[in-house]
A and B are shown apart, each in its own frame.
Chain A
Amino acid sequence: MPSQTPPQSEKFISIEGIARRYPAPGGTSTTVFENLWLPMRRGEFVCMIGHSGCGKTTVLNILAGLEAPSEGVVIADGQAIEGTSLDRAVIFQGHALLPWRTVLGNVAYAVSSRWRKAGRAEVEARARKAIATVGLAGSEHKRPSELSGGMKQRVGIARALAIEPKILLMDEPFSALDALTRGTLQDEVRRICVETGQTVFMITHDVDESIYLADRIVLMTNGPGAKVAEIVENPLPKVRDRTQLHHAPGYYALRNHLMDFLVTRSKTLRDAMPPGYDQRHPPVIRPSLSETDAAALLGAEAPALRA
């Protein structure tokens, strides 16, 4: 069931009717998505899940200002997004470090771009602080080629955090890492974001990652013509322990719901949306705890979630 429109104060970021079309051979155009609406709250961690080709990365690039939507606007903190901004930091999938600069050099580059008049000492101090936050103190003078994949992505995170952005945008930041490193980095990101109250928009296709990290999970149907099928509120407590997460009430119901979506509903929903579906107000699904508890205990087969 569609939820109430969130009050205006809750719309820290508001995606309003954006579309993205690419020219196709024969003078026609391919529509990746159109009339996409999505609100985000301040301090919220939002994960977007969907299959390849549903336009997740395009949505993120539009939020970053790297791409312009074919139609519609995005309002961030009361202002329409026109181009890139230092208020919106991006953590790229492939870390995107400048290989000719050291760890400190990469982070300092971002810092000196943010505070152009800052002196050398201040830039270095801020950069060192950000590097320490991601646990890389002592590696400041290493070059990216000397770092492991996980460490490189830590530098990418430090660079994004160093400019104190209002919004952090992450495009599958951990997908190229091994499982162990990915887990550690997820812990770090979760800790940093909870501590600083950072607003985060993250793209992933890892269901467990979204459950562990997100406050709300946006489900995209398959493209072309992708839609926001629903926004799932994560019922798990804000303080999450990775080792105990799968015992938390509601965990399995949520996980099964997401898996079912990825396996079947992402396709069926694209072809036919349920009656009453309104693209302007995608349904917000909020699992009811008592039922999911029961579902979790029973081993849960169906999505026992209630709007």
Chain B
Amino acid sequence: MAASLSLRAGFLSLALLVAFLLTWQIAVSGTAKTEAMDPEYAALMGASATTGKSAMPGPLDVGATIWKHLRDPFYDRGPNDKGLGIQLAYSIGRVALGYGLAVIVAIPIGFLIGMSPLMGRALDPFIQLLKPVSPLAWMPLALYTIKDSGLSAIFVIFICSLWPMLINTAFGVAGTRREWLNVARTLEVGPFRRAVTVILPAAAPTILTGMRISIGIAWLVIVAAEMLVGGTGIGYFVWNEWNNLSITNVITSILVIGLVGMILDQVLARAQRLITFPE
């Protein structure tokens, strides 16, 4: 076979996609038996009751919806009808804020834990206890203390992004090779310069791994958090469209959430490659 592996893999992916879409289309295009009913009731029930058309939208319906959203992503017609772009922007904004705060808190504390065995031991019980708590369990407490649903969602993102970054930073810092630290010591490098010029670059790949895990978790959690707090955001959009029984919009959201999550992950993967040093 002359074609490269990636080319063949691409073809196979495409074939699988086509097969999936075809199966989907065939599965939803059949009509079910219709029952005789009062015409007014039938009008209320819609096409699935009158013609037996499947209530599950087909790929073409979803495609049409996606196209509609793509053409006008930023419309705003009141609190319950905003464009997909606006909803995504809200979600990304919340994730950016909560995640950014977590970076600011987790990396210095991770450094402290990694550099000081005393602090590491002292803080370990707290971290071990709080790490396994589902971030949504914080939501009532956040709502009660912060008294603002938007800020509470940001807090929940902050708390769920914190742990992987904190633990990875501490691990990376503590794992700095002794010989590199000895180089800094024999050169009489002060503690601050040592942290910036030796420990930070040495721990950076591990820190970025933690940041990558965190952004993934943050993007998972924002959907659930927005379903709870409501108002705006892609999570709220999904729930709202479920209440509207618009399955096409729900499927569209699933695709968009996946796409944004992938992009966020790839951005950090790129950053990780940049700061990883070959040995």
**Segment of A45-53, A86-94, A189-197, A234-242 in the binding face:** A86-94
Closest chain B residue to A90, Cβ basis = B186
Task: Tell me whether B277 and A99 are in contact (CB under 8 A).
Answer: yes
Question: Is B188 touching A113 in the complex (CB atoms < 8 A)?
Answer: yes
CA distance A98 to B202 in the complex (A): 8
Take A84-B188, A113-B189 as given contacts and tell me if A96 and B183 are in contact as well, using a CB distance cutoff of 8 Å. yes
Most buried by A among B182, B186, B201, B202: B186
A66 within 8 A of B: yes
Whether A145 is near chain B, meaning CB under 8 Å from some CB there, is yes
CB distance from A15 to the nearest CB of B (A): 18
Q: A143-B277, A145-B277 are in contact. Are A66 and B185 (CB under 8 A)?
A: yes
Q: Is B45 an interface residue (CB 8 A)?
A: no
Q: Which of the four size classes fits the interface of chain A?
A: 20 to 34
Q: At the interface, yes or no: A104 with Cβ under 8 Å from chain B? A: no
Residues A88 and B198 in contact, CB atoms below 8 Å apart: no
Interface 0/1 of B173-212, CB less than 8 Å to A: 0000101101101111100000001100110000000000
Which residues of A are found within 8 Å of B179, using beta-carbon distances?
92, 94, 96
Would you call A114 and B187 a contact (CB within 8 A)?
yes
Tell me whether B279 is interfacial, beta carbon within 8 Å: yes
Question: With the chains together, A204 CA to B30 CA distance in Å?
Answer: 83
In the complex, whether B132 has a CB less than 8 A from a CB of chain A is: no
By the criterion of a CB under 8 Å from any partner CB, how many residues of chain B are at the interface?
A: 18
CB distance from B116 to the nearest CB of A (A): 19
A98 close to B183 (CB less than 8 A): yes
A88–B186 touching, CB < 8 Å: yes
For residue B278, CB closer than 8 A to chain A, the reply is: yes
Shortest distance between the CB of B194 and any CB in chain A (Å): 10
A22 at the A/B interface (Cβ < 8 Å)? no
Task: Say whether, besides A92-B179, A92-B182, A94-B179, A163 and B187 are in contact (CB < 8 Å).
Answer: yes
In the bound assembly, the distance between CA atoms of A163 and B189 in angstroms comes to: 13
The digit string for B247-279, where 1 denotes a CB below 8 A from any CB of A, is 000000000000000000000000000010111
The listed residue with most A CB atoms (<10 A of its CB), out of B180, B188, B202, B277, is: B188
Whether a CB of chain B sits under 8 angstroms from the CB of A110 is yes
Bound-state Cα–Cα, A109 to B186, Å = 12
B277 partner residues in chain A, CB cutoff 8 A = 99-100, 143, 145
Report the separation of the CA atoms of residues A293 and B25 in the bound assembly, to the nearest whole angstrom. Answer: 98
A85 close to chain B: CB less than 8 A = yes
Q: In the complex, A119 Cα to B277 Cα: how many Å? A: 27
Residue from B177, B182, B202, B275 in contact with A90 in the complex, judged by beta carbons closer than 8 Å: B182
Query: Is B188 within 8 A of A92, CB to CB?
Result: no
Find chain B residues with CB under 8 A from A100 CB: 201-202, 275, 277
**Which of B179, B198, B202 has the largest count of A CB atoms less than 10 A from its CB?**
B179
Find chain B residues with CB under 8 A from A114 CB: 187
Find out whether the CB atom of A99 lies under 8 angstroms from the CB atom of B186. Answer: no
Distance of A89 Cα from B183 Cα, bound (Å):
9
CB within 8 Å of A: which of B54-100?
none
A145 with B278, Cβ < 8 A, contacts A64-B186, A84-B185 known: yes
**Which of A88, A92, A143, A144 is the one whose CB lies under 8 Å from B183?**
A92
Q: Which residue, A94, A96, A110, A143, has most C-beta atoms of chain B within 10 A?
A: A96
In the bound complex, do residue A89 and residue B186 qualify as a contact, i.e. CB atoms below 8 Å apart? Answer: yes
Question: How many angstroms between the C-alpha atoms of A128 and B185 in the bound complex?
Answer: 23
A89 to B187, CA, bound (A): 8
Which positions in A face B, CB cutoff 8 Å? 64-66, 84-86, 88-90, 92, 94, 96, 98-100, 109-110, 113-114, 143-145, 163
Q: Apart from A85-B188, A86-B188, A99-B279, what are 7 other A-B pairs with CB-CB below 8 Å?
A: A84-B185, A96-B182, A98-B201, A98-B202, A100-B275, A145-B278, A145-B279
Instruction: Identify the B interface with A (CB < 8 A).
Output: 177, 179-180, 182-183, 185-189, 197-198, 201-202, 275, 277-279
Provide a sorted-by-A list of 26 A–B residue pairs whose CB atoms are within 8 angstroms: A65-B185, A65-B186, A66-B185, A84-B185, A84-B186, A85-B188, A86-B186, A88-B186, A89-B186, A92-B182, A92-B183, A96-B177, A96-B179, A96-B180, A96-B183, A98-B180, A98-B183, A98-B198, A98-B201, A98-B202, A100-B275, A100-B277, A109-B197, A114-B187, A143-B278, A145-B277
